[in-house]
Amino acid sequence: MELKDVLRAVPGLNKRLVYYLESQGYIRPTQIQKARISRRDYSADDLRRINRFWLYYQRGFSVRSATETATRAEKSTAFAFLPVPARQRRHVLDFLRRFDRVTEAAIIYGETGDLVVRMNAADQRDAYDVLDRIFEEAGVSGVPLIWLVQQSTTVGTRAAPELATVSAEESMLAYVLIKAPPKQVGGVIEELRQFPGIVEACALYGESDAIVKIDVATQAALDDLVMNRIHSLPAVESTRTFIVVGGMHWERNTAEQGG
């Protein structure tokens, strides 16, 4: 897209700011030579990053701080659990696809929430930017639980197409919250890397100390992984398991999430 298209898509933005973001390497439009002049071709990812910068700039951040915070947000993760009435769960799950910062969402069985949302967020306010829209536009009410990720370790990957819907026939997905002494969480994360079936393990800030994502074939495999393997770790004090409802989960692939 051309610069005029970018300016039209982000009301209030001016070309000076766009050129600044390019000079800082925050966006990387393609240079297209045409006769005596060259023009820039901006990608969808450039526009996504500009929108994220603009969000912080409109909050009152300086240009430099907005750029730095937007960059940090892309590398930061938060999980939110919140209750959603049964009749609205499918709608909310699909509604979350609108937000580029939401990277994964699932309806779960659990006593502290019906929905788990994973998003890029530098702080809790970033998380509430998404959650407030759910409350206002999707008609959801309730108190969410939010955890910012301190450290994340990807253990394995699952072959899944973009925004894939995972069915119960293909696999069983679950999220497990782990309680452990703060000074031993790093060691727990490293030990979890050894267990087949654990896709990712994250250390958290907050009352829960870690969250793991599990992808196994059967209920028996899940039970064995949680009850026999995770609970065998001396530092693990307790766990809470949230099983994903079959067919009610999606996630963005790495390429779509961008840098």
Which of 74, 102, 126 terminates a domain? The answer is 74
The whole-number pLDDT of residue 240 equals: 92
Q: List pLDDT tens digits, range 153-181.
A: 766 544 333 334 444 456 789 999 999 99
Same domain, 94 and 190: yes
**Nearest CA-CA partner of 208 in 137, 139, 138, 147:** 147
Over residues 218-223, mean pLDDT = 93
The whole-number pLDDT of residue 163 equals: 38
Determine the Cα–Cα distance for residues 59 and 177; give it in Å rounded to an integer: 33
Helix (H) or strand (E) holding 22: helix 15-23
Same domain, 103 and 132: yes
Q: In this structure, is the dihedral angle defined by the CA atoms of residues 189, 190, 194 and 196, taken in order, positive or negative? A: positive
The whole-number pLDDT of residue 155 equals: 63
The whole-number pLDDT of residue 60 equals: 92
Same domain, 70 and 104: no
The whole-number pLDDT of residue 111 equals: 65
Q: Is 50 exceeded by the pLDDT of residue 4?
A: yes
Q: What angle do CA 33, 37, 41 make, to 5 degrees?
A: 50
Q: List pLDDT tens digits, range 5-20.
A: 999 999 999 999 999 9
Q: How does DSSP assign 185-246, residue by residue?
A: HHHHHHHHTTSTTEEEEEEEESSS-EEEEEEESSHHHHHIIIIIIGGGSTT--EEEEEEEEE
Work out the burial of residue 73: count CB atoms within 10 Å of its CB; fewer than 13 is exposed, 13-18 middle, 19 or more buried: buried
Same domain, 61 and 83: no
Helix (H) or strand (E) holding 107: strand 102-109
Over residues 16-31, mean pLDDT = 92
Host domain of residue 202: 77-257
Task: Give the chain's mean pLDDT.
Answer: 86
Same domain, 238 and 133: yes
The whole-number pLDDT of residue 250 equals: 95
Question: Which CATH number covers residue 161?
Answer: 3.30.70.100
Q: What total number of domains does the chain contain?
A: 2
Determine the Cα–Cα distance for residues 20 and 33; give it in Å rounded to an integer: 21
Which of 74, 107, 133 terminates a domain? The answer is 74
